[in-house]
Copies of this chain bind each other. A is one copy, B any other.
């Protein structure tokens, strides 16, 4: 749908960061910013910022810099944050509940429309304004409703079987907190893994001999 030039992952991973900072600048009423000033602010070289942004076209103006609001809006557009997505959370433990109540989902344009769990202790309770459904209903739910994204916050062992069901029922993206390598051969499904434990281990490594 967009510019057919393939964007590299490193570039893509930096876009949200740019967007975050531009949002803040915009909120603070800053009108323009040069790649040099932005560079200082976010710890990325000016050269890289310009290089990255130019993957998507010339958003700046020579001799002036970048118009903050315009650039922010363009990034929002590119990232697809302006679109609406629907999501379900599968596994309503502590983490699932936290994400249900967090601002992260809505801030990316993602509407939470249902939560699922196995445990009778949780099913039927209300979380983030929604009644938690039984996992047994998840397949039908996804077939009957358009679900873009599934947030996987369930036990490791259940991750792959459940995700397979969901992918077959039309779910296009998985936000995966289960520390499992998911793979859907040739199914045009996106997976974004969040390995919180890995991040903590890296921190422990850094801390241990300091």
Contact = CB atoms under 8 A, between A and B. Distances in A.
Interface in A89-130: 93-95, 97-98, 101-102, 104-105, 107-110
B196 A80 contact: no
Contacts of A188: 210
Across the A-B interface, the 3 shortest Cβ-Cβ residue pairs: A16-B198, A190-B206, A80-B208
B201 A83 contact: no
A131 B171 CA distance: 41
Contact of A192 (B83, B194, B199, B209): B199
B98 A94 contact: yes
A12 B199 CA distance: 10
Nearest to A42: B181
Contacts of A190: 203, 206-207, 210
B207 A148 contact: yes
Contacts of A204: 79-81, 83, 85, 108-110, 149, 173
A172 interface: yes
